[in-house]
Homo-oligomer: A and B are copies of this chain.
Amino acid sequence: MNKLTISQVAKQGGVNLQTIRYYERQGLLAPISRTEAGYRIYQKDTVRRLRFIKRAQELGFSLSEIKDLLYLRLDAHTTSADIRVRAQAKLADVEQKIRHLEAIQKSLSRLIKSCRGCGPAADCPILENLDGEDFP
Chain A residues with CB under 8 Å of chain B are: 48, 51-52, 55-56, 58-60, 69, 72-73, 75-76, 78-84, 87-88, 90-91, 94-95, 97-98, 101-102, 104-105, 107-109, 111-112, 115-127, 129-132
A69, A82, A84, A91: which has the most chain B beta carbons within 10 Å? A84
**Would B87 and A112 count as touching, CB distance under 8 A?**
yes
**Would B115 and A84 count as touching, CB distance under 8 A?**
yes
A8 CB to nearest chain B CB (Å) = 18
Question: With a CB–CB cut-off of 8 A, which chain B residues contact A123?
Answer: 80
**Residues of A contacting B: mostly:** helix
**Would A91 and B109 count as touching, CB distance under 8 A?**
yes
